[in-house]
Structure 1
Amino acid sequence: MIVAGAVVLGVGLLFVLWSAPGGGQRDAKGPARERAAGPAVGWGFTHTQFSADRGADAAVERVARVLAGQPMAQNQHLMGWGAGNPEPSPGRYDFDDLDRRMALIRRTGGTPVLTLCCAPDWMKGGTPGRTDWSQLEKAPEPDHYPDFAALAGKIARRYPEIRHFVVWNEFKGFFDDAKGRWDAEDYTRLYNLVYQELKKVNAHNQVGGPYLVMDSYVPGDGRYPSALKGTWGHVDQRTLDAFAYWNRHKAGADFVVVDGSSYSKDDRYAPDVFTAARKFAEVGRWLRRTSGLPLWWAEWYVEVADERGGRRGWSERERVAAQATALIEMAEGGAAGGFYWNPEGDGKGQGGKDCPGCLWSSTESADGGRELPMWTLLARFSRAFPPDAHPREMATGSDDILGLSDGRTALLVNTADRPGSVRVGGKERVVDGYGVRWVSLAE
């Protein structure tokens, strides 16, 4: 994951004149009125530090139209990644940034998801009234777990349109250095308090965890071996142990959520960039079988970041083909949805119109806010394969061309740099090198 660093607190451009979430009642006392669980989540993206709620007016308006043209799930964090400290000191709240992000989601018709991370400084040993962003990823102290749960409940009352909540992010601050393993016991205590508080606010709220990173090692690497393995390598046994503890001791869950990459912990692909994505399918099937719950990928990566946190020298065609391959494998593994990380750059360097892997060009420029190839793929995938579609991987008869279909629509991806063809729906279909092609099976 890209570390948040300091959060930009500028108000930027508000999309709507908006005095209070949820129809004008701020933080109504008592449990929210019973409501259905709301729309299914499906495929979408996570807002990070730079997103479409701020920037040049023309660019902000332009990307708002793009988002409204294909509404999908939009995930936002409680603190960090574009949101300031929501409770700088006990009982003193600042929701300006969350209000602004929620206004964007509401205006563009997105399905809101809130990731409940991270915690105000006073909950983790810091000074009340101060925010040290270098300590963002520190977990709350156990004595403050109830305070964090209470904050989650207050947020749920403030934004009753949020029906889906993810508890914490990547076990941040929950690694036990002395024991060399994840502290699943403390995480699960925090999770259970948050789960119970959110269900108390509204029994229909959907809550999930544990948001572990499914780290893996390539074949032949003897570190932390496990039985969850494939041609891509094996998942770190410590991760599986932490998942097993949470799964046994959780107070309840409506979905399981994890993140991961096709490459290994030390940034290697096995056996190659495209085949390594099979990890998403095989890990996904294991998670579904083990938990019996719907599966979300909170973050998913196919491209190793360089030493500056940027992207490698892939062509955009190869990049989109690799991302499409990952989407196919996640769907084949039974995932009900997932969130693409980091939709926009900072407007500097590669953060402008040529931002590799971004969803739209930076809104910091008046000419920004224009959809990029990854948005085109994600929007079409979200529209073609909603949560109830249950697409399955197709046998194309080609070693290079992968396929996914729900019986109505097929997605074809050529993992080779040369054109190829397959027979789909009774017709020969040509797919360019590193090409992504959509086929209506009614043709």
Structure 2
Amino acid sequence: MAALTLAVYLVSPEILLSSRAGDSETPGWGFTHTQFSADDGEPAAVATAEAAIGSVPMVQAQAIMGWGVDNPEPSPGVYDFRSLDRRMSFIRHSGGTPVIVLCCAPDWMKGGERGETDWDRLEAAPYPEHFADFAALSATVARRYPYVRHFLVWNEFKGFFDDELNRWDAEGYTHLYNAVYDAVKAVDPANQVGGPYVEFASKAPGSPGTSSELQGAWGAVDQRYLDAFTFWNQHRDGADFVAVDAHATTAQGAPDEFTAVQKFAAVDTWLRKQVDLPIWWPEWYVEPTQPGWSWDHQVALRIAAMIEFASSGADTVLYWSPRPQGQECASCLWTDTWARDGGRPLPFLDVLQRFVRWFPPTVDRQKLELGSGVVALESHLARVIVNTTDQRTTVAVDGRQIVMSAYETRWLTATRAWAGAAGQR
């Protein structure tokens, strides 16, 4: 496995303890569990992954059906929480701040047979006559896991597209959202509930149907997604945070992959004009790996995206699909727990944990443009510097010239003088 070019500096125990994810009501950085995760496999590998993840506790989200979890209510009033219990147990044992995604719906709520599960219809929405049933299931989940305080309602408007009108059925989703919001709040008013978890899809600027108010060199957001968000925002019973997600790729009109990730900050800026609520990104995506991309290149792109999130005020940002499916990858967090020696932390887990430690939403985070394609994120705890080009370059950092290789990442912490740490590796 190739080593990433990360310059490592130690941080004091006091800083570590003061910035643990679980110490604050503001969740912060973390990841969303998907079908293949770290809770199942070889016992020793699961224990290895649990210890690695728990070394710096962070936010961990899990859906109530799908993405590694079975149907929680295959028949009305008949529950099966075994797989969800296992995931939630793993989250607790690894010190995570738990988040539950209230998606998806059992088959009998969407026209299927009672007692059966058709996974090909996982993303179908419940019928309106079953919105109250889904809200009741959500309340049952909230009561079963009383230590969970954060709940996301549904996932990307799945099943809520109106083919006849060629737009999102924001009315239907909002009715479901309000029923779930009221039910989960009735269990415990301290529960935090958010939505609409809509994807901000975009196209090249000037494409038909794109927004004139949310566009840039990275592309232009499809107006239908903004309309859906606006309707929900105007008709929701309440919300403790807003949730969105997006892809940021050159297919949407950006000239390169690093320009594309500026979309994330643009969306945050637009959201701040709409609501005075914490902004959540339960999943996010960047340009797929291209042939010939080095691991440094892949990691630099993801760090550049995380800089956009942090500097534009995103409060909670969750990494998606953190485990490789039988292969190693630069952007995964741990190795396959079904392998006897699996569950080992991969370099990007260290990257994510550094953001948890040094760039939580509770501190001021500022993006710096250092020239020559080099960007940085700074807090009072640390600084991360990324060369976003395929060229060796020299930049000035606090009066000192430092040379960075192509796509290199460097970390500096506040436990050393900025200038003194800049040239060290």
Cα 1:411–1:356 shift into 2, 3 Å: closer
Cα 1:389–1:70 shift into 2, 3 Å: same
Q: Verify: 1:228 aligned to 2:217, yes or no.
A: no
Cα 1:38–1:276 shift into 2, 3 Å: closer
TM superposition shift of 1:145: 0.4
Aligned match of 2:163: 177
Higher RCO (C-alpha 8 Å, min separation 6): 2
TM superposition shift of 1:359: 1.1
Preserved contact between residue 149 and residue 197 of structure 1 (Cα < 8 Å): yes
Aligned match of 1:246: 232
Cα 1:440–1:357 shift into 2, 3 Å: closer
Q: Deviations over 1:392-411 (max 9, x none)?
A: 11132x13100111233111
| 3-state SS of 2:385 partner | strand
5+ residue gaps, structure 2 = 1-22, 418-425
Aligned match of 1:168: 154
Whole-angstrom CA distance in 2 between matches of 1:112 and 1:432: 38
Match of 2:38 among 26, 40, 52: 52
Cα 1:50–1:160 shift into 2, 3 Å: same
Whole-angstrom CA distance in 1 between matches of 2:253 and 2:402: 29
Preserved contact between residue 38 and residue 163 of structure 1 (Cα < 8 Å): no
* Counterpart mapping for 1:97-176 below 5 A: 97-176=83-162
Match of 1:379 among 353, 358, 362: 353
Could you tell which deviates more after superposition, 68-77 or 283-292? 283-292
- Between Structure 1 and Structure 2, the one with more helix by share is 2
Match of 1:413 among 358, 380, 386: 386
Aligned match of 1:342: 321
Match of 2:403 among 416, 425, 430: 430
Whole-angstrom CA distance in 2 between matches of 1:335 and 1:51: 25
Whole-angstrom CA distance in 1 between matches of 2:380 and 2:368: 10
Whole-angstrom CA distance in 2 between matches of 1:271 and 1:221: 16
Aligned match of 2:64: 78
TM superposition shift of 1:298: 1.2
Preserved contact between residue 412 and residue 437 of structure 1 (Cα < 8 Å): yes
Aligned match of 2:269: 285
Q: Verify: 1:302 aligned to 2:286, yes or no.
A: yes
CA RMSD of aligned residues (A): 1.7
Could you tell which deviates more after superposition, 253-262 or 53-62? 53-62
Preserved contact between residue 256 and residue 294 of structure 1 (Cα < 8 Å): yes
Whole-angstrom CA distance in 1 between matches of 2:165 and 2:252: 27
Aligned match of 1:318: 297
Preserved contact between residue 220 and residue 252 of structure 2 (Cα < 8 Å): no
| 3-state SS of 1:227 partner | strand
Whole-angstrom CA distance in 2 between matches of 1:336 and 1:302: 19
Q: Deviations over 1:188-246 (max 9, x none)?
A: 00001111111111111111000111101123433434321111111000000000000
Whole-angstrom CA distance in 1 between matches of 2:45 and 2:112: 38
Preserved contact between residue 346 and residue 364 of structure 1 (Cα < 8 Å): no
5+ residue gaps, structure 1 = 1-36, 306-310
Whole-angstrom CA distance in 1 between matches of 2:402 and 2:292: 29
TM superposition shift of 1:390: 2.8
Cα 1:414–1:38 shift into 2, 3 Å: closer
TM-score, normalised via structure 2 length: 0.89
Q: AA paired with 2:411?
A: W
Q: AA paired with 2:401?
A: E
